[in-house]
């Protein structure tokens, strides 16, 4: 896909103005959320030339919008020529990555998305970044060690190679997610390259002076908060305009004077350049002084008591990386910030019992991961034979194999990319603070769309790989429902002996009838077996032998399944 750049905004003569110099104390950062959770593999949303398409679309959307310039799903469907379901998906995805929690779209109930609306300018920025290409995965710095725990090639790799070039990615299963610094630099470079076009979507010409006199009002400038932010503030930080010398300290009772778009462009470019320089300096420091440099890629020790690598700010996520053949539990007090990334974990059980905004699981295998309550979005990517249990607003599953998802989700699970043998099932666990956490982040127990997966394209247009013609139209393999006879409750251990302090005593999501019946049937069968054993007409010494045999078989199962590690970790805590 070509990536043309329009020079619709020329450099301003004020570029050397000292008032435009970036503030070294408060660096500009890209907002990661739109780039990590806001990209949709819908071909009609990926434009060869975003500006040429979106400027006329802007006028179309405004003409069909309300007086407050908001667009609903029906107008969006008609304007973009996409299905009503895809239009609702666009609005729901936008709601999950918007920078302002006070926006009506964000506060809409899950069942109200059809009738909700989005601000035209937020929507335009969201559509523009659908042209973004993700950074390719990197190879792990200790690939030899990872090779010992990473799963071998899957049995169906042979026939996959005939289907799609994604097998090129799969053939190297030891690729790992890029570092946060690399991703941030990549996102900043994208914004740097496309800044003129992005500003042209927000700016308006001065009346009577034509397109050469584009200006930005303070209100339009605030929409850039969808893509960038200053400092380490989270979503409740100061307004973006308060960091700009041309809008800072404006009288709140008086409308601020519009600013030439070229002036805004120059000021932002200087800030982006400073941020990129800062990242480069940090990378150089890390390379030259690894002992003292902060390294967000440090793998965690292979032990039950391992601590996670937490970001020092509310802006960044906490990392759980490299757990192998172990158990790990983290509660809200153990996490910094409101998002978590679980990376490259193998043959382990991980409990994240906390209220979160975002959660990402990447490159894990043969692992069970319990993620408490997630109010924005969960993304599971490049995982094999993983069980994920989560209560969340929405979830996206990409490029996974032989995984089972036990879900309490308010929106349809999104299935994208090269997936195989996925299964979905209703939510199957609880912990004492679960309902408290769900209420905190806005997950509703009365709505569970676990069994309504929505499959999109098999090829992700946002990766940096080339794809043969026609493959982009192939739909991803969807997920099947787990057989009710295989459905069981998952028990979360009382790791800290304080489970009685919470109010949740049972699974808050009602089970569908067929799963409830299967559960009751299994419980009845277990009760009957227990009764038969108790009433077996055996002498006392034979009963002791039977009990001893059962204990031996159970112990053998604990070791064979790896669950013995959880008992050791529980005892260790």
CB atoms within 10 A of CB 552: 10
The pLDDT, as a whole number, for residue 544 is 82
The pLDDT, as a whole number, for residue 151 is 43
Residues sharing a CB contact under 8 Å with residue 162, sequence separation 6 or more, in sequence order = none
CB 268 within 8 A of CB 244: no
Q: Is a pLDDT exceeding 80 seen at residue 22? A: no
Q: Is a pLDDT exceeding 90 seen at residue 507? A: yes
The pLDDT, as a whole number, for residue 316 is 75
pLDDT tier at 147 (50, 70, 90 boundaries)?
A: very low
The pLDDT, as a whole number, for residue 13 is 46
CB atoms within 10 A of CB 250: 15
Distance CA 114, CA 85 (A): 9
Q: Is a pLDDT exceeding 80 seen at residue 324? A: yes
Distance CA 404, CA 402 (A): 7
**Percent of the chain whose predicted confidence (pLDDT) is above 90:** 46
DSSP 48-92: SSHHHHHHHHHHHHHHTS-TT-EEEHHHHHHHHT--HHHHHHHHH
Which residue has better confidence, 126 or 150?
126
- pLDDT tens figures, 41-94: 888 898 888 888 898 999 888 888 777 889 999 999 999 999 999 999 999 999
Least confident of 17-26, 157-166, 228-237, 538-547: 157-166
CB atoms within 10 A of CB 165: 14
- Which long-range contacts does 531-536 make (Cβ < 8 Å, 24+ apart)? none
What mean pLDDT value characterizes the chain?
81
Least Cα distance to 338 among 410, 413, 233, 434 occurs for 233
Q: What are phi and psi of 353, to 5 degrees?
A: -100, 75
CB 373 within 8 A of CB 355: yes
DSSP 466-498: ---TTGGGSBPP--EEPPGGG----PPP-TTS-
Least confident of 290-299, 337-346, 419-428: 290-299
Q: What are phi and psi of 414, to 5 degrees?
A: -100, 125
The pLDDT, as a whole number, for residue 371 is 97
Local structure of 464: helix, strand or coil: coil
Q: Is a pLDDT exceeding 90 seen at residue 497? A: no
Paired strand residues for 215: 204, 260
The pLDDT, as a whole number, for residue 122 is 96
**Percent of the chain whose predicted confidence (pLDDT) is above 70:** 76
The pLDDT, as a whole number, for residue 419 is 92
Residue 86 is encoded by which pair of tokens? 């895809």
Distance CA 519, CA 470 (A): 45
- pLDDT tens figures, 200-255: 999 988 876 665 688 999 999 999 999 999 876 555 557 888 888 888 766 666 67
Strand ordering across the sheet containing 204-205: 204-205, 214-216, 259-260
Distance CA 96, CA 112 (A): 14
Distance CA 469, CA 464 (A): 15
- pLDDT tens figures, 424-451: 999 999 999 999 999 999 999 999 999 9
The pLDDT, as a whole number, for residue 294 is 43
| Cα separation values, 470 from 86, 254, 462, Å | 20, 55, 16
Residues sharing a CB contact under 8 Å with residue 225, sequence separation 6 or more, in sequence order = 31, 99, 100, 239, 240
Of 66-80, 354-368, 467-481, highest mean pLDDT: 354-368
Q: What is the mean pLDDT of residues 5-23?
A: 48
Residue 520 is encoded by which pair of tokens? 């009751």
- pLDDT tens figures, 509-549: 999 999 999 988 988 888 888 888 888 887 888 878 888 88
Distance CA 130, CA 143 (A): 32
Kindly state the helix (H) or strand (E) to which residue 209 belongs, with its residue range.
none
CB 468 within 8 A of CB 449: no
Least Cα distance to 436 among 340, 361, 349, 332 occurs for 332
The pLDDT, as a whole number, for residue 555 is 83
Least confident of 268-272, 299-303, 452-456, 556-560: 299-303
- pLDDT tens figures, 546-562: 888 888 888 888 788 77
Kindly state the helix (H) or strand (E) to which residue 543 belongs, with its residue range.
helix 540-561
Which residue has better confidence, 475 or 269?
269
Distance CA 259, CA 340 (A): 38
Query: Which residue blocks in 223-288 are alpha helix, DSSP H?
Result: 261-288
């Amino acid at each position: 896909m070509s990536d043309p750049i329009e020079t619709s905004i020329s450099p301003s003569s004020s570029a050397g103005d000292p008032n435009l110099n970036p503030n070294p104390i408060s660096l500009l950062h890209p907002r990661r959320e739109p780039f990590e959770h806001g990209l949709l593999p819908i071909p009609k949303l990926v434009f060869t030339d975003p500006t040429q398409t979106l400027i006329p679309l802007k006028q179309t959307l405004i003409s069909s919008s309300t007086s407050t310039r908001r667009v609903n799903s029906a107008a969006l469907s008609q304007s973009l020529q996409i299905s009503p379901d895809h239009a609702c998906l666009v609005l729901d995805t936008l709601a999950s990555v918007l920078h302002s929690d006070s926006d009506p779209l964000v506060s809409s109930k899950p069942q109200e998305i059809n009738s909700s609306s989005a601000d035209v300018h937020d929507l335009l920025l969201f559509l523009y970044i659908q042209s973004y290409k993700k950074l390719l995965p990197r190879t792990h710095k200790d690939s030899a060690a990872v090779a010992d725990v990473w799963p071998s090639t899957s049995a169906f790799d042979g026939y996959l190679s005939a289907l799609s070039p994604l097998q090129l990615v799969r053939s190297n299963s030891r690729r790992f997610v890029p570092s946060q610094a690399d991703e941030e630099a990549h996102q900043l470079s994208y914004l740097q390259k496309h800044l003129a076009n992005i500003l042209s979507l927000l700016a308006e010409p001065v009346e009577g002076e034509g397109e050469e006199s584009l200006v930005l009002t303070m209100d339009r400038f605030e929409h850039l908060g969808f893509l960038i932010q200053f400092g380490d503030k989270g979503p409740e930080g100061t307004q973006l305009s308060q960091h700009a010398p041309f809008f800072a300290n404006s009288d709140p009772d008086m409308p601020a004077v519009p600013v030439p778009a070229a002036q805004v462009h120059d000021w932002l470019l200087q800030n982006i350049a400073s941020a990129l320089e800062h990242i480069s300096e940090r990378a150089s420091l890390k390379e030259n002084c690894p002992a003292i440099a902060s390294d967000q890629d440090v793998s965690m020790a292979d032990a039950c008591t391992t601590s996670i690598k937490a970001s020092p700010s509310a802006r960044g996520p906490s990392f759980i990386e490299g757990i192998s053949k172990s158990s790990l539990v983290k509660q809200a007090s153990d996490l910094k910030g409101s998002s978590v990334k679980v990376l490259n974990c193998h043959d382990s059980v991980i409990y994240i019992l906390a209220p979160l905004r975002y959660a990402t699981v990447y490159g894990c295998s043969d692992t069970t991961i319990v993620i408490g309550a997630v109010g924005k979005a969960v993304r599971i990517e490049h995982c094999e034979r993983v069980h994920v249990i989560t209560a969340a607003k929405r979830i996206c599953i990409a490029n996974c194999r032989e995984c089972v998802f036990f879900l309490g989700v308010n929106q349809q699970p999104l299935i994208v990319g090269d997936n195989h043998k996925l299964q979905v099932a209703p939510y199957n666990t609880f912990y004492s603070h679960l309902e408290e956490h769900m209420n905190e982040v806005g997950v509703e127990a009365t709505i569970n769309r676990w069994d309504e997966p929505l499959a999109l394209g098999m090829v992700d247009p946002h990766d940096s790989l080339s794809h043969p013609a026609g493959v982009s139209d192939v739909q991803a393999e969807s997920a099947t429902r787990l057989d009710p006879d295989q459905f069981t409750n998952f028990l979360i251990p009382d790791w800290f002996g304080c489970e009685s302090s919470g109010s949740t005593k049972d699974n808050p999501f009602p089970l569908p009838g067929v799963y409830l019946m299967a559960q009751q049937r299994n419980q009845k069968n277990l009760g009957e077996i227990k009764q038969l054993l108790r009433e077996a007409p055996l002498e006392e010494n034979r009963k002791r032998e039977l009990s001893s045999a059962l204990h031996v078989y159970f112990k053998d199962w604990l070791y064979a399944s790896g669950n013995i590690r959880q008992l050791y970790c529980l005892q260790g805590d």
